[in-house]
């Protein structure tokens, strides 16, 4: 993430600010900066650090672009290169022996000390002098990154670092998430952040903040918000709104899925995702007005959040929650059924694998039994039945999710 | 019934009557996200006092329920001034900062304070070295296991030592386990981000230890007072030198830039001085930092500041200082000498030239331990360091300090001199300060003031 002095935003009079992203137009000069970096592979870190900043700024001046923008790109690129020690023997050993020999004489005699060390180490005096501090950070040799980047990838990484730098200075973010809600929530909670949510027409609105944010801005949770952002970027169609403190001034910043930002994280699919994917496909093939959406909803069950596998949405606004009870341990099933009972205030369809001996009476909501594959036609018919019974409902619920991650283990267990 | 509990580094307050909340309005807020009232955890003592005052019979304090007692075996014997320090801490309700010079036994004072409180205690330390040292000290005086968190360790016990970094990362989870908080080198928390660690710990008993408390009336002093408590006891090197600490001679050695260096220095510093004069003309009250910030915003300001820094680096370590450092090392070859430079690069230059070990932040623990061990065993005669040896590292019985240059002002200087003041029968310590005349180096030396001037002082000029 970019440090404060490299954060470029365009401020507006209404207290909003837009991140100044790099775009395709910046690719030519970014490529030149990347070439400047590559030219230092095999040379020392010290050489690069003392010479490269001026060269990067020269590139910025030549191309008529922001110096701070170029410094920001250099900041991002610099982190890609590792370094290695160029020495025939471990420098620490060479030091230990050379310094011990140097301390022997009552009057310091550098040549005599190095001669004795040379004998013990079986290496020449000039080599001793070279290796003595070859492991100092500035004397290490630069190693090329394992994979080369295109200028476009560098730009996306810069834009991600810019957003994360802004979020580091934020106290609260509001995110509209269309999919993988539970994974996003889990990321937030793992970082000790508090999440609240409201249901919206296109998914779930999460409000994420640090516990102390009601009292003041804390860097600890700024870090957490910045670290949590890649989980948001991994989802499609997100929108994020952050309140940041930039150079002492509060500003609102919006980030959207269409922004050109690197996706560094991938949210892994659930173990049962194959069956779920098949169901989504089958519902689509029915050609009805119903749409099956994965993980778009959150239900508050006491102090715990419950994420139904799907929601079935009708164009008139009716929403039925769909939970697939698949291949789990008896303990998990018991806990799940408890959650489902508590959630039954909302229209709920429960699909139960017949191989699990589960009495219908245990489960609130309409139960659909299946073997291996859920019948999409039956599911939609059941949803129609609920819609006819209960009318339109579903949007606008607001609830709290305030339990720390440690109390949410069985939920987290499904998120790998 | 008012209920107090710990929730992710904050104090959660449930069922509090309106009058109580009103009396705490400056520190307690209603949290709409969770439907509770909330305060920073370190406000626990004040909230508890207020709650006891208003709802004595109906208070449920979940935080105190989680505390365990420490097992005391052998409290340390104290010198009179150490005893006074512990008494002062207790008199102030076990909340405050004790300021004692390096080498005067702050660890011993804190160990006694923990033993006398007989409570669970968390000791926060800035470095991995201190983590080990504190763990060993607590093990020597208390029964039961001693916890350690940091440097790859994560064991929490009623008595636990934790690095600042680990505290920042984890006290939102473990901050409520301890009734007493001891903060070694507490001046680190007079500003900066890591102070949030102390906010996440509700411990009502809070002891800060430092050799260099922030000056009274400054923002740093106010912050430390808020997070830990007021300075309840303070002694300076001058109070103890020659008695509880070794006697000290301070020798200031003035050096000059050579012709080439002078030309380079002037060329690099002049653009900065010129812009600084402009800033001061418009804003006569601007301090150094304000000037630097103003110049940073000017066109070309970054380059001017970079050149100013280069001039500062030259003044901190010109050729003449290299020569003097070499001469002093030769003169004190029979002694145990510590050299301090402003930056690691200069320390390495001296190390390469004089073939003495260097301890910087990059030196791994094993090598650092081996160097200190060799120094103790007299297999090496001197160590050069930039900042790592400023504080915390236990360097027994060095008697000469050569301060080639400083970068961090009075605090650093006092800590460095403190490194050679560990008392020994008949010991007389000598500190050399190398100062480059007519440069920012001289200005820095003047700004350090006279705080350290505990022993005899003299000056010497080297052309």
Same domain? For B174 and B322 the reply is no
* Residue A394 pLDDT: 41
Report yes or no on B155 lying in a domain. yes
- Chain B closest CA to A261's CA: distance in Å? 28
Provide the pLDDT for residue B393.
65
**pLDDT (0 to 100) of residue B214:** 85
Name the residue with higher pLDDT: A349 or A156.
Answer: A156
Q: Does B216 lie in the same domain as B116?
A: yes
Q: How far apart are CA B413 and CA B451, in angstroms?
A: 9
Q: Show the tokens assigned to B369.
A: 């331990």
Shared domain for B392 and B426, answered yes or no, is yes
Q: Do residues B184 and B110 touch, judged by C-beta distance below 8 A?
A: yes
What whole-number distance in Å separates Cα of residue A213 and Cα of residue B47? 19
Residue B201 binned pLDDT confidence (cut-offs 50, 70, 90): very high
Spatial distance between the Cα atoms of B450 and B191, rounded to a whole number of angstroms: 24
Task: Return the pLDDT at A61.
Answer: 94
> Given this model, what pLDDT does residue B161 score?
96
User: What residues in B contact A189, CB-CB < 8 Å?
Assistant: none
Percentages helix, strand, coil for chain B (3-state, rounded to 5) are: 45, 20, 35
Q: Which residues contact A49 (CB under 8 A, 6 or more apart)?
A: A138
CB B97 within 8 A of CB B211: no
Q: What confidence score (pLDDT) does residue A414 get? A: 28
Neighbour-count burial of A111, counting CB atoms closer than 10 A to its CB (0-12 exposed, 13-18 middle, 19+ buried): exposed
For residue B336, the model assigns a pLDDT of 92
Span B275-300, mean pLDDT? 87
In order of A48, A197, A310, A410, the CA distances from A397 in angstroms are: 56, 8, 17, 24
Q: Which residue among B315, B330, B353 closes a domain?
A: B315
Facing residue for A99 by CB, picked from B10, B38, B380 = B380
CB contact under 8 A, B33 and A207: yes
Residue with the larger pLDDT of the pair A353 and B100 = B100
pLDDT score of B463 more than 50: no
DSSP one-letter code for A344: G
Token pair, residue A364, equals: 């609130």
Q: Could you tell me the two tokens for B139?
A: 């093990």
B327 in a structural domain: yes
Which residues does chain B have within 8 Å of residue A136's beta carbon, measured at their own beta carbons? 344, 348, 362
Flag whether pLDDT at B227 surpasses 80: yes
Cα gap B243→B5, rounded to integer Å: 48
**Cα pseudo-dihedral B290, B293, B299, B305, rounded to 10:** 100
List Cα–Cα distances, B233 to A278, B73, B217, B283, in angstroms.
Answer: 73, 26, 16, 39
In chain B, residues with a C-beta closer than 8 Å to the C-beta of A103 are: 356, 379-381
Q: Within chain B, what is the greatest distance between any pair of CA atoms?
A: 80
Per DSSP, the residues of A130-190 read HHTTTTSGGGSEEE--SSPPPHHHHHHHHHHHHHHHHHHTEEEEEEEE-S-HHHHHHHHHH
Dump pLDDT digits (tens) for A284-298: 888 888 888 776 666
Q: Which residue has the higher pLDDT, B215 or A268?
A: B215
Beta-bridge partner residues of B436: B255
Return the bridge partners of B384, or none: B339, B358
pLDDT in the model for residue A145: 94
Q: Could you tell me how many CB contacts below 8 A there are between chain A and chain B?
A: 98
**Cα-flanking dihedrals φ and ψ of residue B147, to 5°?**
-80, 155
Report helix, strand or coil for B212.
coil
User: How much of chain A exceeds pLDDT 70, in percent?
Assistant: 79
**Structural domains of chain B, count:** 4
Residues B106 and B47 in one domain: no
Interchain contact, B196 vs A106, CB within 8 Å: no
Kindly give the interhelix angle for A151-168 and A27-38, rounded to the nearest 10 degrees.
Answer: 90
Task: Using an 8 Å CB-CB cutoff, list chain A residues near B10.
Answer: 211-212
Instruction: Answer yes or no: is B154 within a domain.
Output: yes
Instruction: Give the CA distances from residue A233 to residues A230, B159, B222, in Å, rounded to whole numbers and listed in that order.
Output: 5, 43, 41
B334 CB neighbours in chain A (<8 A) are 106
Do B372 and B335 belong to one domain?
yes
Question: Under an 8 Å CB criterion, which residues of A touch B?
Answer: 67, 92, 95-96, 98-103, 106-108, 110, 113-114, 129, 132-133, 136-138, 192, 194, 196, 207, 209, 211-212, 214-215, 218-220, 400, 402, 404
Alpha-carbon distance of A371 to A275, in angstroms, equals 11
What count of other Cβ atoms lies within 10 Å of the Cβ of residue B413?
23
Interchain contact, A215 vs B34, CB within 8 Å: no
Instruction: Take residue A16 and report the two structure tokens written for it.
Output: 């909003």
Q: Is residue B118 part of a domain?
A: yes
Pair B361, B433 in one domain = yes
Q: Do A133 and B33 touch (CB under 8 A)?
A: no
B431 lies in the same domain as B292: no
Q: Where residue A364 falls among pLDDT bands split at 50, 70, 90?
A: low
Task: Give the residues across from A278 on adjacent strands.
Answer: none
Q: How far is CA B117 from CA B70, B209, B228, in A?
A: 9, 17, 16
Domain that holds residue B326: 247-257+318-461
Which element (helix H / strand E) includes B433?
strand B428-436
E-strand spans in B341-399?
Answer: 358-359, 382-385
How much is the CA Rg of chain A, to the nearest whole Å?
29
Query: Cα–Cα–Cα angle for B437, B443, B444, nearest 5°?
Result: 110
Torsion of CA B332, B335, B340, B346, to 10 degrees: 50
Residue B462, judged by CB atoms within 10 A of its CB (0-12, 13-18, 19+), counts as: middle
CB proximity list for A95: less than 8 A, separation 6 or greater: A132, A133, B357, B367
User: Is B241 within the bounds of a domain?
Assistant: no
Please indicate whether, in this complex, the C-beta atoms of A211 and B9 are within 8 angstroms of each other: yes
Q: Determine whether the interchain pair B370/A219 forms a contact, defined as Cβ–Cβ distance below 8 Å.
A: no
Q: Out of A101, A108, A219, name the one closest to residue B330 (CB).
A: A108
Give the nearest chain A residue to B365 (CA atoms). A92
Name the closest residue on chain B to residue A112, using Cα atoms: B355
B333–A194 CB contact, under 8 Å: no
Q: How far apart, in Å, are the Cα atoms of B351 and each of A96, B64, B325?
A: 12, 53, 11
Q: What per-residue confidence (pLDDT) applies to A405?
A: 39
Q: What order do you get walking across the sheet with A170-177 strand by strand?
A: A9-11, A16-19, A249-256, A239-246, A170-177, A203-209, A194-200, A398-401
Given an 8 Å threshold on Cβ–Cβ distance, is B196 in contact with A402?
Answer: no
Q: Are residues B229 and B347 in the same domain?
A: no
Q: What is the mean pLDDT of chain B?
A: 87
- Residue B169 falls within a domain, yes or no? yes
In this structure, what are the phi and psi dihedrals at residue B162, rounded to the nearest 5 degrees?
-140, 140
B9 with A192: Cβ contact below 8 A: yes
Final residue before a domain boundary, out of B289, B315, B341: B315
With a cut of 90, say whether residue A84 has pLDDT above it: yes
Considering the domain architecture, whether residues B326 and B304 belong to the same structural domain is answered as: no
pLDDT tens digits for range A271-282:
345 666 778 788
pLDDT band at A304 (very low <50, low <70, confident <90, very high): low
- Of B315, B332, B361, the last residue of a domain is B315
Q: What angle do CA A87, A88, A92 make, to 5 degrees?
A: 65
Is the CB of B40 less than 8 angstroms away from the CB of A129? Answer: no
The answer to whether residue B203 sits within a structural domain is yes
**What is the predicted pLDDT for the residue at B123?**
97
Is 90 exceeded by the pLDDT of residue A401? no
- A212 and B10 within 8 Å at the Cβ level: the answer is yes
SS (H, E, C) B177-199: HCCEEEECCHHHHHCCHHHHHHH
3-state secondary structure (DSSP) of residue B243: coil
| B354 belongs to a structural domain | yes
Enter the tokens of residue B170. Answer: 């984890």
| B300 & B347 share domain | no
Q: B55 and B189: one domain?
A: no
What is the C-alpha to C-alpha distance for residues A84 and A46, in angstroms, rounded to an integer?
Answer: 13
Q: How confident is the model at residue B353 (pLDDT cuts 50, 70, 90)?
A: very high
Integer Cα distance of A71 and B353 in angstroms = 36
* Model pLDDT for residues A306-334, shown as the tens digit of each residue: 667 788 888 888 888 887 766 555 555 66
**What percentage of chain B reaches a pLDDT higher than 90?**
47
Residues B7 and B51 in one domain: yes
The CATH number linked to B40 is: 3.40.1170.30
Q: Which ipTM value was assigned to this complex?
A: 0.72
């Amino acid at each position: 993430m970019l440090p404060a002095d490299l954060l470029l935003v365009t401020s507006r009079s209404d207290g909003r600010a837009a991140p100044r992203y790099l775009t395709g137009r910046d690719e030519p000069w970014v490529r030149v900066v990347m070439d400047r970096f590559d030219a230092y592979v095999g040379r020392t870190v010290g050489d690069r650090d003392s010479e490269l900043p001026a060269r990067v700024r020269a590139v910025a001046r030549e191309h008529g672009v922001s110096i701070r923008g170029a410094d920001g790109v250099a900041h991002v690129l610099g982190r890609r290169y590792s370094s290695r020690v160029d020495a025939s023997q471990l420098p620490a050993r060479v030091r230990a022996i050379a310094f011990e020999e140097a301390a022997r004489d009552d009057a310091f005699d550098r040549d005599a000390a190095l001669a004795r060390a040379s004998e013990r180490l079986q290496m020449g005096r000039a080599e001793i002098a070279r290796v003595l501090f070859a492991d100092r950070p500035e004397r290490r040799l630069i190693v090329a990154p394992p994979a080369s980047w295109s200028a476009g990838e560098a730009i996306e990484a810069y834009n991600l670092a810019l957003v994360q730098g802004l979020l580091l200075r934020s106290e609260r973010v509001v995110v509209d998430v269309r999919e993988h809600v539970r994974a996003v929530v889990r990321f937030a909670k793992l970082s000790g952040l508090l999440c609240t949510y409201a249901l919206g027409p296109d998914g779930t609105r999460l409000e994420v903040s640090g516990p102390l944010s009601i009292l003041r801005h804390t860097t600890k949770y700024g870090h957490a918000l910045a670290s949590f952002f890649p989980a948001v970027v991994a989802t499609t169609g997100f929108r994020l709104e952050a309140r940041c403190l930039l150079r002492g001034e509060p500003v609102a910043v919006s980030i959207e899925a269409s922004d050109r930002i690197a996706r560094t994280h991938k949210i892994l699919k659930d173990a049962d995702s194959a069956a779920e994917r098949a169901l989504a496909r089958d519902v689509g093939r029915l050609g009805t007005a119903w749409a099956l959406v994965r993980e778009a909803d959150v239900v508050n069950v006491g102090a715990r959040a419950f994420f139904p596998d799907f929601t079935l949405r009708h164009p008139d606004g009716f929403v039925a929650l769909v939970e697939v009870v698949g291949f789990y341990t008896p303990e998990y099933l018991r806990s799940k059924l408890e959650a489902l009972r508590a959630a039954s205030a909302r229209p709920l369809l429960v699909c139960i694998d017949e191989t699990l001996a589960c009495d219908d009476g245990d489960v609130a909501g309409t139960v659909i039994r299946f073997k291996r594959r859920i019948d999409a036609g039956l599911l939609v018919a059941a949803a129609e039945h609920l819609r006819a019974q209960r009318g339109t409902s579903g949007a606008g619920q607001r609830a709290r999710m305030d339990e720390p991650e440690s109390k949410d283990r069985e939920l987290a267990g499904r998120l790998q | 019934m008012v209920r107090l509990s710990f929730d992710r580094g904050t104090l959660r307050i449930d069922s509090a009557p309106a009058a109580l909340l009103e009396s705490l309005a400056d520190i307690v807020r209603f949290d709409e996200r969770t439907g509770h009232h909330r305060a920073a955890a370190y406000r626990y003592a004040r909230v508890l006092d207020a709650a006891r005052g208003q709802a004595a019979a109906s208070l449920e304090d979940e935080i105190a329920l989680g505390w365990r007692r420490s097992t005391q075996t052998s409290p340390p014997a104290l010198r009179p001034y150490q005893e006074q320090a512990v008494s002062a801490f207790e008199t102030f309700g076990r909340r405050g900062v004790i300021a004692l010079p390096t080498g005067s036994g702050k660890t011993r004072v804190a160990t006694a304070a923990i033993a006398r409180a007989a409570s669970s205690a968390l000791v926060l330390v800035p470095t991995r070295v201190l983590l080990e040292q504190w763990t060993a000290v607590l093990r020597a005086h208390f029964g039961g296991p001693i916890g350690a968190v940091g440097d790859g360790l994560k064991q929490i016990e009623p008595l636990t030592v934790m690095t600042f970094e680990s505290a920042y990362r984890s006290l939102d989870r473990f901050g409520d386990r301890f009734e007493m908080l001891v903060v070694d080198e507490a001046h680190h928390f007079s500003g900066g981000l890591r102070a949030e660690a102390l906010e996440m710990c509700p411990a009502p008993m809070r002891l800060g230890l430092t050799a260099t408390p922030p000056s009274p009336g400054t923002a740093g002093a106010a912050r430390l007072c808020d997070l830990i408590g007021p300075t309840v006891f303070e002694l300076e090197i001058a109070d103890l030198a020659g008695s509880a600490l070794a006697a000290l001679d301070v020798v200031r050695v003035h050096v000059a830039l050579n012709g080439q260096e002078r030309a380079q220095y002037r060329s690099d510093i002049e653009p900065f001085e010129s812009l600084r004069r402009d800033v001061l003309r418009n804003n006569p009250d601007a301090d150094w930092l304000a000037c630097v910030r103003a110049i940073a915003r000017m066109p070309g300001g970054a380059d001017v500041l970079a050149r100013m820094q280069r001039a500062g680096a030259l003044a901190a370590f010109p050729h003449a200082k290299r020569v003097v450092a070499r001469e002093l090392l030769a003169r004190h070859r029979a002694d145990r000498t510590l050299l301090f430079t402003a930056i690691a690069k200069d320390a390495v230059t001296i190390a390469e030239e004089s073939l003495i070990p260097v301890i910087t932040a990059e030196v791994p623990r094993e090598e650092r331990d081996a160097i200190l061990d060799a120094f103790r065993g007299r297999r090496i005669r001197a160590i050069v360091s930039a900042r790592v040896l400023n504080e915390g590292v236990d360097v027994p019985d060095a008697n000469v300090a050569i301060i080639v240059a400083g970068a961090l002002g009075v605090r650093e200087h006092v800590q460095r001199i403190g490194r050679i003041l560990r008392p020994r029968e008949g010991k007389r310590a000598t500190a050399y300060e190398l100062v480059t005349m007519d440069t920012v180096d001289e200005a820095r030396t003047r700004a350090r003031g006279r705080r350290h001037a505990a022993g005899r002082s003299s000056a010497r000029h080297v052309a």
